[in-house]
Structure 1
Amino acid sequence: MRSASTQTNNSPDSCKQSILILNEVYNVLIDIYGGDDANDEVYQQQDVSGYLNRTLSMFKRSIKRLGWWIERMRTWVYGMRLH
């Protein structure tokens, strides 16, 4: 497994897309390696834990960045209405 360590575009749309894609990847990993199937050998062989550790901080940063964009747009829109 590979992790995307950098984002080349910091626009709200690319940030949102990154969040949605990573969320789906995490959902798939949970489905595959959850307690029901117990694919422990493959989990260790593919370093899924390492992948999660490498990508969770990026996932959190992306969520914060998107929140910043949303707040910035709200401030701009409300500022336009006041003038």
Structure 2
Amino acid sequence: MNNNKTKAEENMADDMDRKIIRALNENARRSFREIARETGASVTSIIHRVKKFERSGIIKGYIPVVDMDYFGIKMIAIIALRISQG
């Protein structure tokens, strides 16, 4: 760890992290090479960062985005609640 940075600063996303996550959000099946070309980073850097995101739980998984009309589902609702004491 860099002695000039606090632990919180070490864990903060930088601009490259944001670019990688944005690219994966657009299409999680794109290759590391394609993401590297798009972001200007090396393929090795992309691989290391994505693996770090997976190990640390930042990336929790990869899911398909499904056309629900195909299955005859007309409406879908996703609800997330965060409850805290206080």
- Could you tell me the TM-score, scaled by structure 1's length? 0.30
| Structure 1 or 2: more helix by fraction | 1
| Greater RCO structure (CA 8 Å; 6+ sep) | 1
